[in-house]
Amino acid sequence: MLLVNDVKWVETLSFRFGVLGALIADRYAQALAEHGLKLKHVGLLGALDTAPGASQLEIAKLMRVAPSLVVSLADHLEAAGAIERLRDPADRRRQVLSLTDRGRDLLARCTARALALDAELTEGLTPAQRAALTAAFDRLAAAHGLPVRERPVREQPDADPR
């Protein structure tokens, strides 16, 4: 039987993921605020990059959020010139969303900032450790139904991640 003193709560993955996640989210939120965006705005831009011409309902399912939130996010992004709403010619009741050139530029800037933050966060790791961390996060994300990008073999972790 596990005793309270055998494992300190600060050593649990749940605690560490939670604290690191909050720190990272705060830092990324500050970077996004420079563009007048929040994380969910970037999520919508990314979803539209992945599924161009998707309806608001399809995007809500993809993002796992309420359709009303997608409407609110889309209102903000449309006002910023980052997306446009168009009536589906095949079904006039359906609105499809698509990225504009400004939206693609914003997504590229937010992605660049995320990559810079990734580099800052992992600067004390070796390339093999970074690759192993990425692979572990990919497996965890996939296990929880989150989208995971297929990586070329050169991006896969080495067999010995020291």
Domain locations in the chain as residue ranges: 27-123
The CATH architecture of the domain made up of 27-123 is Orthogonal Bundle (1.10)
Let me know: does 51 contact 92? Beta carbons within 8 Å: no
Checking if the pLDDT of 68 tops 60, the result is yes
d(CA 130, CA 139): 14
* C-beta separation of 45 from 35 below 8 A: no
Give dist(CA 20, CA 55) in Å, integer. Answer: 34
pLDDT value at 10 more than 90:
no
| Closest by Cα among 94, 96, 92, 117 to 39 | 117
Tokens of 162: 């020291």
User: Which is more confident, 150 or 38?
Assistant: 38
| Element of type H or E holding 88 | strand 83-88
Res. 11: pLDDT tops 80: yes
Q: How confident is the model at residue 121 (pLDDT cuts 50, 70, 90)?
A: very high
**What residues have CB less than 8 Å from 159, skipping those under 6 apart?**
none
Query: What is the model's pLDDT at position 153?
Result: 56
